[in-house]
Amino acid sequence: GAVVSQHPSWVICKSGTSVKIECRSLDFQATTMFWYRQFPKQSLMLMATSNEGSKATYEQGVEKDKFLINHASLTLSTLTVTSAHPEDSSFYICSARIPTDTQYFGPGTRLTVL
Amino acid sequence: AQSVTQPDIHITVSEGASLELRCNYSYGATPYLFWYVQSPGQGLQLLLKYFSGDTLVQGIKGFEAEFKRSQSSFNLRKPSVHWSDAAEYFCAVGGGGADGLTFGKGTHLIIQP
């Protein structure tokens, strides 16, 4: 149980385009999902907290107009990187929280912006 | 502000030997503590967690961790490592609820035959 999927697993896009990443909780409902970013050989940094039916809460320094988050249902949150640039290339990981306060993580999405 | 320190970037252990990975945290309230493992190309897998109660917690794959409030530590241990344990290990702290997690920088575990 507590499986989280992400799609796509990797994506390559041109600079200036937008990319959408989906995060789904497959076997449970998640009122809260989180988005993290991981640079190569580094730790995960929390970007934002996504609550179903409400606006996401962004961490300091994360541009909310660049990283659009939508949590339309209890099993789906999306992260859209708008007008992507090479510096946005990274590994994006989502997690979903179960009621016992444990977060289960998706496999991540590798974004490369050319 | 909350923080997690994993002082060892790399650790090399012989197969069959015991393992201890260190984790120190800073958190203003009662912490929720986690250990996750990340293998190449894989997502983060939860090894174990501590919320309250018994300070020695058992996890999957033979791992255990001990919460020591006086030392602000939550070290991960395994009595005998296997080659398949080679991976990146992350310690994380949070407050529960809608709090995201703060991760340490990770410890890369290398297993020698």
The closest CB to that of A103, out of B101, B105, B106, belongs to: B101
pLDDT tens digits for range B1-56: 789 999 999 999 999 999 999 999 999 888 899 999 998 877 899 999 999 889 99
Nearby residues of A101 by Cβ (< 8 Å), 6 or more positions away? B32, B51, B94, B96, B97
Q: Do A105 and B32 touch (CB under 8 A)?
A: no
E strands, chain B, in order: 3-5, 10-14, 19-21, 24-26, 32-38, 44-50, 56-58, 64-68, 73-78, 87-94, 102-103, 107-112
Dist CA A11 CA A106 (whole Å) = 16
Number of alpha helices (DSSP H) and beta strands (DSSP E) in chain A: 0, 11
pLDDT tens digits for range A52-107: 888 899 999 999 999 999 988 889 999 999 999 999 999 999 999 887 778 899 99
Closest CA to A109 of A86, A85, A93, A89: A93
A3 at B interface, C-beta within 8 A? no
A42 at B interface, C-beta within 8 A? yes
Q: Do B43 and A97 touch (CB under 8 A)?
A: no
